[in-house]
A and B are shown apart, each in its own frame.
Chain A
Amino acid sequence: MSKKKIVAATGCPTGIAHTFMAAEALKKAAEKLNVEIKVETHGQVGVENALTPQEIKEADGVIIAADKDVNADRFHGKPLVDVPVAKGIRTPEDLINQIINGEASVYRASDYEGSSESNTEDTTTQHDKQTTSGKNWGHTIYKHLMNGVSHMLPFVVGGGVLIAISFLFGIYSADPENEQYNQFAKLLNDVGGLSFSVMVPILAAFIAESISKRPGMVVGFVGGLLADQGGAGFLGGILAGFIAGYIIILLQKLLKKMPHSLNGLKSIFLYPVLGIFLIGIIMTPIIVPLTGLNEGLMSFLESVQSTNPLLLGLIVGAMCGFDMGGPFNKAAYVTGTLLLSEGNLYFMAGVSAACIAPPLIIAFATVIFRKYFTKEERNAGAVNFILGSTHITEGAIPFAAKNPVVVLPIIMLGSAIAAILTYMFGVQVPAPHGGFLVLPVVTGAFQWVLSILIGSLVGAFIYGLYRKKAANNQPIKE
């Protein structure tokens, strides 16, 4: 007989001790009983050792030893033993034996949608899609949107940075007619450009995926392509994603009466065919006005950029500094990257400046006011020089998290100053990421660095003075 395979998930409310004790106990018991086991822990630090859909699929049974929600939906259709975390610590062998002896009953998730193919879904997607939709619309829409944004970003960053590198060979290095032509640069530019070009379809696809899983993703992708090629840009893509997601929800409702045996036909035939047809019918007439709106927004931003750099810088800086890598920051960042793809290199310069400033604010503060920071903080501060220089805003988060009410406004101010100066100097940045690494391709590199340094230093002084005051002017003793 081949070795039995079991997957397990453990979790407790505080997520510090029992989660891990139960995991350890289950592993030891499994070893003793000669069973293969993988244990996912839902601790304070987040989910570790996460189970993949494949592992769940292959497992002979599932053990949940938890006093908190561990996303049981994904275990639909598996023999399941569900007990409090204490049982996992105390009687792990019993639990495993229940699976081995086939005493566990098969789990049926009550609100589970779809057929067996859903078992292969990405476990990181939200499982509570429909149950929450009635309760909090704003949050739901935000969640779908962010699913799209977070799947889109790697394409943007990867493609964008490759394009940026190709510019290092000369700004026309991808043009065979030009004397700067370089074969490798053209390759970088082509590959990067291709990655960039699927941005809007990916955005739409994963907005829809968040709403109605894989069937939605297919329809969303096509909707996004339609929007993109029709010139409706990212606004069209967002709309297409939501429409696509809800087309599938609607189809699921309409086809609910169909016999269960036809489930396979639904997912491989009916949903794609009907869904893609419907998204085509709906998108085609609305692409034209959307294109206008999109162009209007871009030109509005462009006009604000030239007529009122102060206002634009203030908005962009505040957005980037407010949550450092969170949704507000991303909104500004995404607008920047999308404008970049439309050929607007000015907007991104301010966004980048505002994203680079926060870690530098922290870094400078820990150097200039070193007496008022602990040794650990000073080390982290030094790392922030590197993080800031490469456009990784998140480095400042641990410092801000200690006292967000005071620190965030300081960071926002510093970021805003950096962005405002950048817009006033008319700096152009053609790369969506990379920080100071892309300096060779920046138009007005000196002014850009100057803007960022001024913003960072102003922020660093205010933050440092705050730390000094918080420490009652007494240097921190180690």
Chain B
Amino acid sequence: MKNMIKSSYVKLQATASSQLGVFQAIADIAVENGIADNADEVVKGLKDREAQSTTGFQDGFAIPHTQSTSITKPAVVIVRTETGIEWESFDNQPAFFFISLLIPEAEAGTTHLQALSALSRTLMDEEKRQQLLDATTTEQLSLLVEKSITPEEAN
């Protein structure tokens, strides 16, 4: 599970100011780190998923995710923006903390998927969300996420 999140997958103080900007930031990180080979495909995938139903939930968190052929390895990419962005969240608050799940189309093993679902569960826990919000460095954040997707820690 270790390789699903690295500090280089995390971007704090991103300048994106629209949904598309956030998707672009996620896709760029993915391509730079060899998670995906085509940024446009990733953006399109995230957009399509968002169109089905919103991925925003509450307290500024959203989890845009997609499964695409251009994604070559499963990964978690985190983008935190300076300004809040309209995301149709449940609490009608703008989102600024984006935890993106990127999954290859032909993901045969289920372990990665289970890890990602463990992460989703974690986000329902207020305390864990606060920990994520309190993290100030990319290392801290990637460690927190790694902890939550490691099977022993997940519940």
A residues at B contact (CB < 8 Å): 12-14, 16-21, 23-25, 28, 41, 43-46, 67, 84-86, 89-90, 397-398, 401-402
Contacts and interface: CB of A to CB of B under 8 A. Distances in A.
Contact of A43 (B49, B108, B117): B117
Contact of A89 (B57, B65, B113, B117): B57
Contact of A20 (B54, B106, B117): B117
B49 A397 contact: no
A402 B121 contact: no
Given A43-B113, A45-B110, A397-B108, A17 B90 contact: no
Given A17-B117, A25-B124, A67-B52, 5 more contacts: A14-B65, A16-B65, A16-B120, A20-B117, A45-B114
Interface of B: 49, 52-55, 57-58, 63, 65-67, 90, 101, 103, 106, 108-110, 113-114, 116-118, 120-121, 123-125
Contacts of A90: 57-58, 90
Given A43-B113, A45-B110, A20 B65 contact: no
13 contacts: A14-B66, A16-B103, A16-B116, A18-B120, A19-B117, A21-B123, A41-B117, A45-B113, A67-B52, A67-B53, A86-B90, A90-B57, A401-B108
Given A43-B113, A44-B113, A13 B52 contact: yes
Contacts of B58: 90
Interface centre among A23, A28, A86 (most CB of B within 10 A): A86
A16 B124 contact: no
A107 B39 CA distance: 46
B90 A16 contact: no
A17 B63 contact: yes
A20 B109 CA distance: 18
A18 B63 CA distance: 9
Nearest to A22: B124
Contact of B54 (A43, A86, A402): A86
Contacts of B123: 21
B60 to A, nearest CB: 15
Nearest to A19: B117
Interface centre among A16, A25, A41 (most CB of B within 10 A): A16
Contact of A17 (B106, B108, B110, B120): B120
Contacts of B52: 13-14, 67
Interface centre among A12, A20, A85 (most CB of B within 10 A): A20
A398 B124 contact: no
A107 B57 CA distance: 30
A468 to B, nearest CB: 19
B121 A398 contact: no
A21 B113 contact: no
A472 B42 CA distance: 26
A21 B65 contact: no
B104 to A, nearest CB: 10
A46 B117 CA distance: 12
Contacts of B114: 45
A475 to B, nearest CB: 17
Contacts of B54: 86
A23 B106 contact: no
A398 B116 contact: no
A16 B121 contact: no
B74 to A, nearest CB: 10
Nearest to A28: B124
A334 to B, nearest CB: 26
Contacts of B53: 12, 18, 67, 84-86
A300 B152 CA distance: 56
B73 to A, nearest CB: 10
B116 A21 contact: no
Nearest to A21: B120
B124 A17 contact: no
A401 B106 contact: yes
A275 B107 CA distance: 47
